[in-house]
Structure 1
Amino acid sequence: MLFNTVALLLSCASAPALARANPPHQKPRVLSSGKETAVRLLYEYPLGTFVETIAVRPNGKLLLTLPYNSSIHSINPLRSNYTPTVVHNFDGLNIFVITEYDRDVYAVNGGGFSSSTGPVAGIYRVDSLNLTQTTATSSTIANISSSQFLNGMISLPQWGVRPSNVLVNDVAAGVVYNLDPISGKCVNGIKTGDGMAYLTNTGLEVTGGAVEILSHEANSTWFYDGFALRNTIAYVTTGSGNSIERVVAPAADSRGPITTEIMAGSLNSTSVAGPTVAAFGRTPWDSHILYVTTSGASNVPVDGRIRIGAQVLAIETKLCSWV
């Protein structure tokens, strides 16, 4: 996903769970120990591959999207063999983002994209991928002809038995679509939690509710991309920063500082080369593990010269030291 150096908070409810007074932000500090040993490689793709997003299934398997590719890949991190398998192929689509909107049913967005010319406006759509049966099935939810480049996407909290609506972000137009996955009617890296919608934004071109900046890296050579939420803590991928940053916001009605720490990787390290998105495991065996996908630093080489294959990583957060 394509984002700049700003992590934002977009109000979704009248009772926010985080402090609302723009508390002071502290510069990131590097953790004292366990930073490299906590990172475990699950799989490395050939050089030139780019892993865009990840979704974690209820059974613990990981679903991966690869730009310039029309298929959804799967890895089982709970087994010893991490070789990806193809779950489903969407003919004619470059797949970007996948998110679960009902149990083991996913929204997948994609469209036209060229490695040389970039996104092709007007031909993006959102499909449904159903994995509840032995054989995966898909159908089109909506064609969004007005879109320029659909990228960030997340399901809203589910009410009752009805499937969740899906927020779909057009990163080029600065528009967020609220999509009903049943009827098909219809802000970078959107995440929801505690009545709020959390996002990172490429150009601050956000429309809608009030926006509050949680973390901002001014004049930085790297950018915030995707992230995972755990309570009021965001685990943010830094793209060309080659690291995972832990952003801790104060609780509701608190005026304490927002703290940031580099929990894995570093600017000139290949241990987390070009991270794109992050997601926590969903089973009792891996709920503490943060799964991270990377680009292999394909766009911005590590140390200006090193590119590696895109990777799927597991970060043992229990080995990280929050001192």
Structure 2
Amino acid sequence: MQVITTLIMACAMGSVSASPLNLGTSDLALGPKAKADAPAPGPGPGPVPVPSAAKPLNFDLKSKAQLPLPQRTVYQFPEDHTWVENLYVRDNGDILMTMMWPKASLYLLKNPSTNPEGTEPTLIHTFDDAQGLLGIAETAPDTFAVVSSKFSAMAAVVAGGSAIWEISLQDVANPKVRKVTDLPEGGFLNGLVKLHSAACRNVAPADRKTVLVSDSFNGLVYRVNTNTGAYEVAVKVPEMDPVEGAALPFGVNGIKIVGHYLYWANSDHTSMHRVAIDMTNGHMREGATVETLVTLKDTAFLDEFDIDEDGTIWGVTNADNKLIAMRPSAQGGSYEVVLGSNTEMTLAGDTSARFGKGAFNRRTLYITTGGASVVPVNGTITEPAKLVAVDTRGYLN
């Protein structure tokens, strides 16, 4: 309920100026630990009240769970040189996976928490006008927006070849697919998140299917109306930029909205950031400043992430096959590797991470991989893409 309350107020406040939140208290608190009667944010600038049960963030990260965390392979594709880029967990717990190589295919895996290893996913649709799919988000019940791109080789995007699509799965056996828009200005369209919640009562229902899409090469986030196809740059700040002169420039990658904040990972800088946004249009709020939450050392890359109910950010590193738990704080944050390493195949080329849904699945983190296809483990070892389930129960609880 706290999340819904925050979203309602965030939509209602529009472009009210927002001061950075006090990272000494957990404004990241999500899920069942948030109290239904927690106070809503006030209309003026300043810290947003949080549930009294929220845990402080300004402490060194210490795990109560034995590391590495328990994991199991849910499914592994049979062919080598395959790359699953992203996933979305449906409300019923089923998982949608986007394949970036060799085909732009969308797969559905049912009941991942109970299916035995080897249960094959269902191919939902292959997009003929692209080589790969990337970010995915649900914009309306059983309706999803997805990023497609053309590639000349694995991870080698073709300039001007990106597009946004909509696919309806109200009838999974007969999906309805339409192209929303081409986005030829895009460099490397990547992460995707829905902007508006159904709680945004001051946003017309027809506009609640708007999404934000990250462009890793150009260091910015687009806003795309999936009804009309209209798009524009919503957020562009230096903290989204890639490293200047990099051979493969990757700035902003995974993105997520919590409350009225846009969170993102910067791949090249291996850092996590957030900024307050206007929930009606996706732009930065007037007077808002970017907060750097955590900066990783001894990590080559930071890809997608998810945020749990304790405020811990769980990020995957792709190039060095790690899962990292990050805890933001005003003192710069703390983090630790909880699974994988640059010499292991456990999470070979991990690409995205999402928590399951439901009372018995909410602490299971699902991770997709690209099989270390671009950066082989130990320089030579690759494998087919796979979906891995990580048990995070007991971590920091």
Task: Report TM bin, short chain.
Answer: 0.7 to 0.9
**Residue equivalent to 2:277:** none
| 1:86 paired residue among 104, 110, 123 | 123
Match of 1:211 in 2: 290
Q: 1:234 to 1:116 in 2, by over 3 A?
A: closer
User: 2: CA distance between counterparts of 1:31 and 1:12?
Assistant: 40
Checking the alignment, whether the CA contact within 8 Å between 2:99 and 2:134 is kept in structure 1 is yes
Native 8 Å contact 2:20 2:289 kept in 1: no
Shift in Å, 1:139: 1.1
In the alignment, is residue 148 of structure 1 matched against residue 210 of structure 2? no
Letter in 2 for 1:240: A
- Kindly provide the amino acid, as one letter, of the partner of residue 67 in structure 1: M
Post-superposition offset of 1:307 = 1.8
Partner amino acid for 1:235?
W
| Aligned-partner residue type, residue 314 of structure 1 | A
1:149–1:170 CA contact under 8 A, matched in 2: yes
* Equivalent residue runs for 1:118-129 within 5 Å: 118-129=156-167
Residue of structure 1 equivalent to 2:5:
none
CA separation of 1:31/1:283 partners in 2, compared to 1, >3 Å: closer, same or farther? closer
**1:1-323 map, 5 Å:** 14=18, 19=23, 33-36=66-69, 38-45=70-77, 46-68=79-101, 69-76=103-110, 77=112, 78-80=114-116, 82-93=119-130, 94-115=132-153, 118-134=156-172, 135-158=174-197, 159-160=200-201, 162=205, 163-186=208-231, 187-203=252-268, 210-218=289-297, 220=298, 222-231=300-309, 232-250=311-329, 255=330, 258-318=333-393, 321-322=395-396
Residue 201 of structure 1, CA deviation: 1.9
Give, in angstroms, the shift of residue 129 of structure 1.
0.9
Do 1:42 and 1:314's aligned partners in 2 also have CA atoms closer than 8 Å? yes
Question: How far is 1:79 from its partner?
Answer: 2.8
Pick closer, same or farther for the CA change 1:264–1:185 going to 2, 3 Å.
Answer: same
Q: Distance in 2 between matches of 1:18 and 1:183?
A: 38
TM (norm. structure 1) is 0.83
Aligned length: 303
Tell me the distance in 1 between the aligned counterparts of 2:344 and 2:16.
37
* Structure with higher RCO (Cα < 8 A, 6+ apart): 1
The 1:305/1:116 distance shift into structure 2, 3 A limit, reads closer
The one-letter code of the counterpart of 1:243 is K
Pick closer, same or farther for the CA change 1:112–1:19 going to 2, 3 Å.
Answer: same
Preserved contact between residue 17 and residue 194 of structure 1 (Cα < 8 Å): no
Within 2, Cα distance between the matches of 1:176 and 1:12? Answer: 21
Tell me the residue number matched to 2:278: none
Q: Is the 8 Å Cα contact of residues 323 and 340 (structure 2) preserved in structure 1?
A: yes
For residues 221 and 15 of structure 1, do their structure 2 counterparts lie closer, same or farther at Cα, with a shift above 3 Å needed?
closer
Q: Measure, in 2, the Cα distance between the counterparts of 1:175 and 1:261.
A: 28
Q: Identity percentage over the alignment? A: 28
Structure 1: how far apart are the matches of 2:209 and 2:331? Answer: 34
For the 8 Å contact 2:214–2:221, the answer to whether it is kept is yes
CA distance, structure 2, for counterparts of residue 288 and residue 125 of structure 1:
33
Distance in 2 of aligned mates of 1:12 and 1:263: 39
Change (3 A) 1:106 1:66: same
Q: 1:139 to 1:244 in 2, by over 3 A?
A: same
Q: Tell which deviates more after alignment, 195-204 or 293-302.
A: 195-204
Structure 1 102/225 Cα, relative in aligned 2: closer, same or farther at 3 Å?
same
Work out the CA distance in 2 between the residues paired with 1:109 and 1:188.
13
Kept in 1: contact 2:137–2:146 (CA 8 A): yes
Distance of aligned partners of 1:25 and 1:165 in 2 relative to their CA distance in 1, 3 Å threshold:
farther
Match of 1:5 in 2: none
The 3-state SS of whatever aligns with 1:240 is helix
Query: After the TM superposition, which of the residue ranges 297-306 and 229-238 deviates more from structure 2?
Result: 297-306
Deviation at 1:258, TM superposition (A): 1.8
CA distance in 1 between counterparts of 2:16 and 2:159 reads 29
Matching residue's letter, 1:84 = P
Shift of 1:102: 1.7
> CA, structure 1 residues 234+164, in 2 after alignment: closer, same or farther (shift >3 Å)?
farther
SS at match of 1:188: strand
Q: Is the 8 A contact 1:12 1:195 kept in 2?
A: no
Residues 13 and 195 in structure 1, CA contact (< 8 A), matched pair in contact too: no
State the alpha-carbon separation in 2 of the partners of residues 148 and 58 from structure 1: 32
C-alpha distance 33-131 of structure 1, shift in aligned 2 (>3 A)? same
Per the TM alignment, residue 83 of structure 1 is displaced from its structure 2 partner at its CA by 0.9
**Structure 2 alignment gaps of length 5 or more:** 1-14, 26-56, 232-251, 274-282
Larger radius of gyration: 2
**Structure 2 length as normaliser, TM-score?**
0.68
Give the distance between the partners of 1:74 and 1:116, measured in 2 at CA: 22
Q: Distance in 1 between matches of 2:299 and 2:326?
A: 19
Amino acid at match of 1:52: E
Compute the RMSD of aligned alpha carbons: 3.0
Higher helix share: 2
Question: By how many angstroms is 1:29 displaced?
Answer: 7.5
